[in-house]
Amino acid sequence: AAAAQQQQRQQHVAVVGCGVNGLCTAWQLLERGHRVTLLEQFPVPHSRGSSHGHSRITRYAYKEAEYARLMRRAFPLWSRLESLSGQRLFINCGMASLGSGAYLRNISEVLESNSMPLERLSGQSLASRFPRLAGFRDCVLDPSAGILLADRCLQTLRSRVAQLGGRLRDCVRVTAIEPQPDGSVRLRLSGSGTAAAASAEELTADSVVLAAGAWAGQLLSGLGLDLPLRPIGVTAMYWRLRRADGAAVTGDFRPEKFPTFVYEDEKLHVYGLPELEYPDMVKASICMHDGPDLDPDIRESREQREPYYLPELADFVKRWFPDLVPEPAVTEKCIYTLTPDSGLIVDRHPSHRNIVFVCGCSGHGFKLGPAIGQLLSEMATGQPPSQDLAFMSAGRFKHGVTSAKL
């Protein structure tokens, strides 16, 4: 296999989008000896997309076994990036699954059937391990889970890409993707920076990877692909610890004593992270399967909208975490791009096999980035993907690829 990889000719791959998926794909392509041009429409780094922010949960504990297995590929790659860079990218504080019996059974089943680590905690064992979760009766703990330091991950990926000779061009917007008769792909570009010339420019590549986040729908429809992608506005919220006598209550919300968590019952789906980016504040938000529709290009006009689901979330905080003030102290905006089943789409164009794409990450894509990057790098260079991708295919949505007109 190694010899076959060496014999494979070097290809020039254009990667559109410099978020976690684009950077991970560029990293994997460069490791395989290919030439990469990364194209990003905004100045790098920026907070206009879905990859920015200080922290993301990473976990094996998925209800869907396919994603748990994808994490088996992603975790070692994050570790490898840590060791290559000498940067700490991951805090191993575990993840507690909380909520309905059905949800906990589902998580246990997936972890056990895939021989992934888990611990069951209840009553006294839960209270002594995690004092701030003492109000919950039961918990399934994924001890290998924790927090990815997202902005630091992106910075480390950018450094690695540069080190391996990748070219990153920011303030450049892709306006059209045009497959050529000789099998190459032409990209039409326009500068979006103030200093950029207004004149259009072109780039030709052997293959193209689209990792354009909330902008994927626009680019794919230009290629005749009509996918059910729905960008929504999302608000991450931070809740302040109550102060007693001028001091914060305790250190029990720090990662040593408080894991990340996902709570799910019939009505509510909440995620939370320990005190980390803001002193004396805990991050907790709704796992969004709905939200205000958003045009990613005019996102600012929606910034003043009241955070979606705020009353339900405040009630949750009041009930389970009485030591937090039940109104958010800090809110941060983000974009999710939802699909009808909240699953990712990773596929290739049906008529142009050298155009591959990831989109619709639905708020759970960051942790999967290195695995997605590895699979896209294989697909973009004509290799069969080393994992069955049927569960992420565009074709699972009936009208997904039937309108391909090219």
Straight-line distance from the first to the last Cα atom of the chain, in angstroms, rounded to the nearest whole number: 34
| Confidence label for 310 from pLDDT (cuts 50, 70 and 90) | confident
CATH class of segment(s) 95-143+230-338: alpha beta
Quick one: pLDDT at residue 249? 57
* Structural domain boundaries in the chain: 2-51+152-228+341-396, 95-143+230-338
Under 8 Å between Cβ of 58 and 70: no
Quick one: pLDDT at residue 194? 46
The residue ranking higher by pLDDT, 190 or 403, is 190
Instruction: Report the alpha-carbon distance of residue 286 to residue 309 in Å, rounded.
Output: 7
pLDDT at position 232 over 70: yes
| Confidence label for 46 from pLDDT (cuts 50, 70 and 90) | confident
Instruction: Report the alpha-carbon distance of residue 227 to residue 401 in Å, rounded.
Output: 7
For the stretch 373-389, what's the b/e string if a residue is b when 16 or more beta carbons lie within 10 angstroms of its beta carbon? bbbbbbbbbeeebebeb
Mean pLDDT of the region 117-141: 96
Quick one: pLDDT at residue 358? 98
Q: Which helix (H) or strand (E) holds 315?
A: helix 310-320
Quick one: pLDDT at residue 308? 64
pLDDT at position 304 over 80: no
Quick one: pLDDT at residue 52? 79
Q: Answer whether CATH 3.50.50.60 is correct for domain 2-51+152-228+341-396.
A: yes
Say what the pTM is: 0.91
Mean pLDDT of the region 354-381: 96
Instruction: Report the alpha-carbon distance of residue 88 to residue 20 in Å, rounded.
Output: 17
Quick one: pLDDT at residue 51? 84
Quick one: pLDDT at residue 405? 35
| Confidence label for 398 from pLDDT (cuts 50, 70 and 90) | confident
| Confidence label for 200 from pLDDT (cuts 50, 70 and 90) | low
Mean pLDDT of the region 238-256: 77
Q: Assess whether the region 2-51+152-228+341-396 and the region 95-143+230-338 belong to the same CATH fold.
A: no
* CA neighbor of 20 nearest in space, from 84, 78, 103: 78
| Confidence label for 300 from pLDDT (cuts 50, 70 and 90) | low
Average pLDDT, the chain: 89
Helix axis angle, 65-85 to 101-113, nearest 10°: 60
Q: Convert the pLDDT of each residue in 252-296 to its tens digit.
A: 899 999 999 999 999 999 999 999 999 899 999 988 667 778 888
Q: Convert the pLDDT of each residue in 87-120 to its tens digit.
A: 999 999 999 999 999 999 999 999 999 999 999 9
pLDDT at position 68 over 90: yes
| Confidence label for 174 from pLDDT (cuts 50, 70 and 90) | very high
CB atoms within 10 A of CB 391: 17
The residue ranking higher by pLDDT, 209 or 285, is 209
Quick one: pLDDT at residue 244? 65
Under 8 Å between Cβ of 20 and 369: yes
Quick one: pLDDT at residue 298? 76
Instruction: Report the alpha-carbon distance of residue 110 to residue 65 in Å, rounded.
Output: 6
Q: Convert the pLDDT of each residue in 177-190 to its tens digit.
A: 999 999 999 999 99
